[in-house]
Every structure is written in C-alpha cells, then in structure tokens.
Structure 1
Amino acid sequence: MKPTVYICRQMPEDVVAPLRDQYEVRMWESASEAVPRDVLMKEAASADALWTVISDQIDEEILDAAAELKLIVNMAVGYNNIDVKAANARGIIVTNTPDVLTETTADLAFALLMATARDLIGAENTLREGRWTSWEPLGFTGTDVYGATLGIVGMGRIGEAVMRRAKGFDMDVLYHNRSRKSEMEDMYGCRYAELSDLLASSDFVLILVPFNEETKGMIGEKELAQMKESGILINVARGGIVDEDALFDALRTKKIHAAGLDVFETEPVPLDHPLLTLPNLTVLPHIGSATVKTRKAMMKRNVEALQAFARGEEPNHQVQG
C-alpha cells in the first residue's frame, strides 16, 4: 500500500500531481482558510506524512494522535509552529524550505521599511478617502531612508541580503548577531554592535532573528526605551520576538516614531487588536516570501522531501529540536 500524505492547505494540482504515484494524497479543501484542529487531529491519526504551513500548530497533542506519522514537511524556513523536539523524540523527521526565499523576503523587508518611513499607506488612504484637498509645505512628510543608520538584529542570509540593498541607499549598517562575521564586515563595511548600542544608534531597527526560547520577547519595554524617539522598528521575522503590549505603549506614547510589522504573535491578527488602532503602524499579512516564483520553489522543496522519503532516502533540509 502507498503511504498517506495529508496536505494542510489546498495546493496547485501541478505541484501535487508528482506525489500521486508515490502517496495516497489527502488534502484540505481550502487554500486560504486553516484546516480546523479537529480535522487535523483526525487526518494526522492515519497519515504517514504531513505537509504543513506556518499557521498549522503541530504540538504534542497532534503528535500523540499521529501513531503512523514519520515525516512533517513545513512550507517555511521557520518551524516554530512544530514541536520539533517532541517530533524527533518520536522518530519523526521534520524538514523546512531554506535558501529559496532569501532575496524575496529581503525585498519585502526593505519595501516595508520604506513604506513605514514615508507612511505610504496613510498617504494612499488619505487620497482614496477624499481627504487630500491641497498640497501642503509639510504635508505627508516622512523619514529619510537614504543615508540613515540601519540596525539589523540577526545577520543570517536574509540579513545579509537586506544589507546589500541598504548599501545601495548609502545606509550605515550596524548588526547584532550571536557571532561576529568579520569577513562580511570587511566586505561590506558594516559594523557589529551590542544590542543596546544598536538600538540607541539606529534610525531603523530590523528584526530578523529566528523565533525560539532565547529570542521570545527579546524586544520588550526596556529595548524599545533604548531606541531613538525618531526610531522605526521593522519586524519580518516572527511576531513573538517583539512584545506587542510594549510596542503598543511605545507607539501610542511616541516613545518611538513608527513601526512596520509583517508578523504578529497571533495570526491571522484579530481585527480588534490594539495595535491596529494606531496611525503610526504599517501592517502586512505575513507576506515576506509571497511571490509566485518563491512560493513555488518552497513547494518544490517540500515535494522533493516527500519524494525522497517515499523512495526510502533521507530527505534534505532536516531540522532538529
């Protein structure tokens, strides 16, 4: 008998078709709505493999119900939606999709930085709502990006890609990372800084660290207080890295100038979330990797892992808890 894969979102048929020779394919009916928890529990109970996305929470309860499960492929680089340690303890392989979304996510990070700096969404809404009545000497004025100081918290592949873009805007780039990258400093002229120094010196602070127990809540009240009053915070990593209550207070009281978020602690973000009431916040619905080319490349990574597993081979891009 073929092994069974349950796909937690509706994927394009041209992507799924290559799996049908090797797997009994079952798939959730919607691409835009999350598979309900009870359905996921039921499907996981008889699946040999799961194909998940970042909003599918695979915890011990799901894993305990999934007696036959041997593989989870996650359509993301980050995998904080999966209890990888618990999965590995049960002999379940977990894979992700590295390398294929670096440049796309860097594009989005820089686009969100610029949109927040110039309040492009607020300006557009003013026009669309008929509130633009005349040119004003100081109307719609924002913050300069060219020549500003950018502080990157987390200098991995995406951080390096953003830095290359920032250099095109003649930005002075500081970075904070678990380890220094001297060769990169020599190549690009960026400078390592302790987190407190980076926060105090940067006009823009970009969060790019992975989400884990060490980084959870790492940008809180104390860290936001260390930023310039004119400072702008950008987060395209994971929502739980920034304390949202502290950020709301910092934006409301103008302790920092503005923020741009592509990620939230709870996603989709509730419409009554206090942050959404603030005019100095630019928000996006977690679209860092959202181009057709990149999303198809991520799907291909997942399909390759599933195909390798069905052939009895070790899938690439395994992650460990």
Structure 2
Amino acid sequence: MPDTAAAPDGEGVFLVTNSRSGQAVVRADPLPRVRERLARATVHELGEDESLDDAVTAAMAAEHPPRVLGVLGGDGSVSRLAHLARRHDVPLLVIPGGTFNHFARAAGLDDPDAALDAFASGQLRDVAVAEVTVDDGEPITVLNAVSLGAYPQFLAERERRGALGKWLGGVVAIQRELRGARPIRIRVGDRRARIWSVFVSVGRNDPDRHAMMQRSGLNDAVLDVRVHHARGTRVRAMASLAFGRRTIAVLRALRLMPRSSDLERFVEQTWEVRVQPDDAPPVYVHDGELEEADPAGFTLRVRAIPAALRVYAP
C-alpha cells in the first residue's frame, strides 16, 4: 500500500548503519549508493560504544523526529530496529548489509536497490512478528526465529573463539560441539523431555527442515515449533542445524539427518517452555543474537502478533 511517511529523497528518514554487523554478502559497500538515493536522509554511523537504542532515542527526542527508521546491517540490527520502530509507531526501512540477511530475503529485499526501490515507491507491507519473554524480562521483538539447545551452544562456542573470525571460528565450534554438545531438559505443560534443540519460527515454515533461521512469509501470525528429541547422536544433533537446501540434501543422502521419529512439530499462537537447570549452558538465540539466562533454570514464552510492524518491501 502506498505511503507518504517520508519523501522519496529520504527526507524524514533516520537510517542507522552498523559496521559491527557480519560481512555483507554484497558486491560492494552499499553505503555510497544509499547516500546517493536518500540524499536528504539522516545517516547515522553507530559509534564503537553506542547502542542502537541510544541512537534512536536521541533521534526521536529531537525537535523534528524522524517519520521512518531505517537500518543498514545484519539480522540482529534489523531485529532491534524493528523493535524500536514498533515502540515509536513508525515504518521500518531495511537495507540488507549483514552476512545472511534472513529477514530481508524473506521480505523480497535481496539487495540494497530492491529496498530503496520499495521505499521510493512507498510500498509498505504489514508484517507479523513474535515476542519472546524470558522470566519477568521485557518482551523482545523477533522477526525470524527463536532457538534453544544445540544452536545457541554452537554460537556460544564460536563467540569464545572470536579471534579466529566468524567462519574459521564456526568450523572449530562445529568440531568442538561434535564432541561436547549437550542435550537440555525442558518442560512444556505437563510434559518433560530431553532434547537436542528447539526452533520456533515466525509463521509456518518449510516442513523439510528443522533449523529455521529464515521465515517463509510476512503475514502468517503463528509460531511453527520444531523439537528435536535427544534420542540420536551428536552428529545428528549438529546435522539438524543445517539450513541450506543443498547441505540438507547431502546430509540426508548420507543418512546423517535426524530420524523423523525424533522430531516433533507444533503450530501455535503462543508457546511456553521451562528450561530445567542442567550442565548445558543456559543460553538461547533470537534472530541470531545469543543471550544468557539464569543457570538455575528459566521460562521462555513466545507469542505471535499479527500486523505488528510496517516494512518497505515489494
């Protein structure tokens, strides 16, 4: 639907760039192109010790606050800016600039020019989101997925080896987790289980994959919950984290993917799980962002919210 919240030249846009995002999978630095097409936008490069919240709070407190919030960065930055756009009830302009850009791809924003074209023509779409709450904490906006178990453990191990870089650190983390991945104990209602992992996607997702990093559409206001029970090997636990179609096909041909009897799926409006204290790290992930929780156990709640965000998308 057309929108006149900001001018096509960028007047009224406050766009944050985050150089700390993962290396962009684009051919060139998109920032010069963004500045050219949004000549009158306020482009704010995030400082070393500055948070996205601080930058947006200062902008919204100005005499003439922005009418659109924008972000050039990866999924973590996009997710946080989505939360702030909801808080201030303004549309969000997403320009992909991270490693995977899962949400941008789901929205049809495969490159910066696609995002800028959608903005120039005022194409706004309503987007369903999820909110995740841990214990008595504040709700966090989720655009793609929440995960417990093997994937957060892998990310925690990779962060420990940050000096190696994301890719080499990831290889080392996979090797480490193949030997040391630990199942977690959960309780959902009256049911208790030991599991390798849980993924909770915003909207119904591909039934053939377990690791749902990217949503399939924008409007489906439900949660697609996948549970991998700890009845198989660590190799299968790590293989289940594959999300590329070709990788999944190869692993399936090698019979390394989990058996269907070890996987459960639920489609819900809300989902709540109690993670029991164990020797596994008390961590979870939302949109690729690793978070720590209470080692004594924690309760994680997720709920789907329809039409909760407006995003420029074709």
TM-score for the superposition, normalised by structure 2: 0.36
Which of the two has greater helix per residue? 1
Larger radius of gyration: 1
TM-score, structure 1 as length reference: 0.35
| Structure in which a larger fraction of residues adopt strand | 2
